[in-house]
Amino acid sequence: MENTDKPQYRKIIHIDMDAFYAAVEQRDFPEYRGKPLVVGGPADGRGVVATASYEARKFGVKSAMTSKRAFQLCPHAIFVYPRFNAYKEVSQQIRAIFRRYTDLIEPLSLDEAYLDVTTDKLGIGSALSIAEEIKRAIREELHLTASAGVSINKFAAKIASDMNKPDGLTFIGPSKLEKFMEQLPVEKFFGVGKVTSEKMKRQGLYTGGDLKKLSEHRLVQLFGKTGKFFYKIVRGIDDRPVHANQEIKSISAEDTFSYDLERGEELDEWLVQIAKSAFKRASHYQAFGRTITLKVKFEDFKQLTRSTSFPQPISTIENVLSCAQSLLKQVDFDGKKVRLIGVGFSNFPEQYLKKENYPIQPTLFPRDEI
């Protein structure tokens, strides 16, 4: 007879590929193996690191730092541009592996996904065994490594997958979950950026355990809506389902210029190029939004956005261009030069876009990607 007293936990796996872009490069180009490798923009001071091999990370090279900084830290590293098509292909292959076990897959990017294997297709039953099998398939069939986290909710699975990278497999079982959350530093909680973590520390809140001492009311007072999330998560509760076919909210293109630009012809020309890139991407997915947003980042890194909306989707390049141009006219430059501009579509009509069909980090290297 079934024991109805036993709580029915979900079985959630979070998979994240190790040093993804760099690992694909090292797989495809044996001469890069075992060497510090940086995948990103040019090392001319304006480019950005997408990722670095573990050999390069030893020197402190990290995602999102300037390539110039990476070069200072590790001058003997090999620098290569990303090959998005290769990464997209691997991404489809890992998803095909996931689908052997479940259709409840929520990709977060090309290299990362949640899987709900509460009832898996093959009747394996153990989430840990499934995670092991997936890791093995990725290794044997794709010659790459992934790290997996296994737990009863998305939050814990994601934290777990990061704990023993690379090639890690970490399980946080239900009996350990609350204790685990208590010792977790506040920075690890979803939604806690630098500003919030500073704020928390000023309040003497360093760990999940510290947050747990506060009432839900107090947490909401301090942190708004996210306070509700904190209240639950420190108790090991995260009911967010694994959403297959998740909608994406915007499509955009942006570019950091090789030198900062004043208002004028050159900037206008760039705006046209970037608006065209955004349009091309939207065309690719046959998804035109009713809102166009212009993003401007100034030389002092301050950033602003201006949007305009229409009752119908903006689906011709002429309309996109004229919207973007009139939005740029409305921007007060305050005497500053511009470092980056971006143009994006949002507010899509009913037809939705699946995240899994959308390339990761679409804004990093728009010119290479399209």
**Residue 86 Cβ vs ligand DCP, minimum distance, rounded to whole Å:** 12
Return the number of the residue (64 or 122) whose C-beta is nearest ligand DCP. Answer: 64
Q: Residue for token digits 């989707």?
A: 313
Q: How many CB atoms lie within 10 A of CB 236?
A: 22
Return the number of the residue (111 or 120) whose C-beta is nearest Mg ion. Answer: 111
Contact region for ligand DCP (CB under 6 A) — 4-12, 30-38, 287-295, 358-366? 358-366
Q: How many CB atoms lie within 10 A of CB 357?
A: 14
- Give CA–CA dist 126/129, Å, rounded: 5
**Residue 230 Cβ vs ligand DCP, minimum distance, rounded to whole Å:** 23
**Residue 195 Cβ vs ligand DCP, minimum distance, rounded to whole Å:** 19
Tokens of 187: 């920075």
Tell me which residue of 39, 19, 243, 11 sits closest to 111, measured CA to CA.
19
Return the number of the residue (26 or 293) whose C-beta is nearest ligand DCP. Answer: 26
Q: Is 291 exposed, middle or buried (0-12, 13-18, 19+ CB in 10 A)?
A: middle
Return the number of the residue (159 or 205) whose C-beta is nearest ligand DCP. Answer: 159
Tokens of 192: 């806690």
114 binds ligand DCP (CB under 6 A): no
63 binds ligand DCP (CB under 6 A): yes
**Residue 17 Cβ vs Mg ion, minimum distance, rounded to whole Å:** 5
Beta carbons of 342 and 363 less than 8 angstroms apart: yes
Find the binding residues for ligand DCP in span 251-310 (CB under 6 A).
none
Q: Residue for token digits 């990370």?
A: 57
Find the binding residues for Mg ion in span 74-133 (CB under 5 A).
111
13 binds ligand DCP (CB under 6 A): no
Among 12, 15, 43, 51, binds ligand DCP (CB under 6 A): 51
Among 10, 14, 15, 16, binds Mg ion (CB under 5 A): 16
Among 229, 360, 362, 369, binds ligand DCP (CB under 6 A): 360
CA distances to 67, 133, 142 from 16, rounded to whole Å, are: 24, 15, 14
Give every CB contact of residue 272 below 8 A, 6+ residues apart in sequence: 321
Return the number of the residue (80 or 272) whose C-beta is nearest ligand DCP. Answer: 80
Strands 146-151 and 12-17: antiparallel
Contact region for ligand DCP (CB under 6 A) — 6-14, 89-97, 299-307, 359-367? 359-367
Greatest CA separation found in the chain?
A: 77
288 binds Mg ion (CB under 5 A): no
**262 carries an active-site annotation:** no
- Give CA–CA dist 328/335, Å, rounded: 14
Report the length, in residues, of the chain: 370
Q: Which of 25, 106, 112, 369 is catalytic?
A: 112
SS3 of 156, please? helix
**Residue 20 Cβ vs Mg ion, minimum distance, rounded to whole Å:** 5
Applying CB under 6 A, what is the total number of residues that bind ligand DCP? 17
The contact set with Mg ion (CB under 5 A) reads 16-17, 20, 111
Q: Which amino acids are annotated catalytic?
A: 112
The contact set with ligand DCP (CB under 6 A) reads 16-21, 50-51, 63-64, 111-112, 165-166, 360-361, 364
